[in-house]
Homo-oligomer: A and B are copies of this chain.
Amino acid sequence: MPRTNRSGQSARSVVTDKREAILRAAIKVFAVKGYFNSKVADIASEAGIADGTVYLYFKSKEEVLHSIFDRAMSEFIEEGKREISLIAAPEDRIRKIAQLHLEKLGSDRDMAVVFQVELRGSTKFMQEFSAAGFSEYLDIIRQTIEDGQKAGAFRSDIKPIVCAKILYGALDEMVTNWILSKRSYPLAPMADEVLRIFFGGVMTV
């Protein structure tokens, strides 16, 4: 039962709303039960619609999962690029990336679970995701490191791409641990700890 549009709200926005509702419901259901253990009926029920309605908006259960990734990733990349363009120093850019990464995932636990867990549930998904947004993200980090090397801020005896993977891996592990932790704590502040080691290393000077 589409929401009555008192004003000029057209069918277009209703469609968007329902699509949105299905995606939100799917994120929640996937986060709790896992992709393979989630039934389409679960998603429909969570969204308060009939099973068949899901298929009016998505071709298949798998497409629902894909849509979740695509939307979240392109939003994230877009915001990231925008924020970064406002910052000059590579060092500060890296700091902003780390903060954004942890803020975004730390502010939506269900989404974080889907990203950290479901995305990695099959090499197939990982390959597809990798092709889609992940490699672009990694490349932004890589490029920033490279700029930092040219500017003399970062050591030049390390490969930028390896460096980018290390930072990503460290952040990623913070998120995974945060998800699995029984205790509840804010994720974003971990960025500082990660950066302190990433920038300065663990050895005493």
Contact = CB atoms under 8 A, between A and B. Distances in A.
Interface of A: 34, 36-37, 91, 113, 116-118, 120-124, 126-127, 130, 145, 148, 152-155, 157-159, 162-163, 165-166, 168-174, 176-177, 179-180, 190, 193-194, 196-205
B158 A202 contact: yes
A123 B163 contact: no
Given A121-B120, A123-B113, A165-B174, A197 B198 contact: yes
A61 B135 CA distance: 34
A174 B173 CA distance: 12
* Chain A interface main SS type: helix
Contacts of A37: 122
A205 B40 CA distance: 55
A48 to B, nearest CB: 25
A174 B172 CA distance: 12
A202 B44 CA distance: 48
Nearest to A33: B122
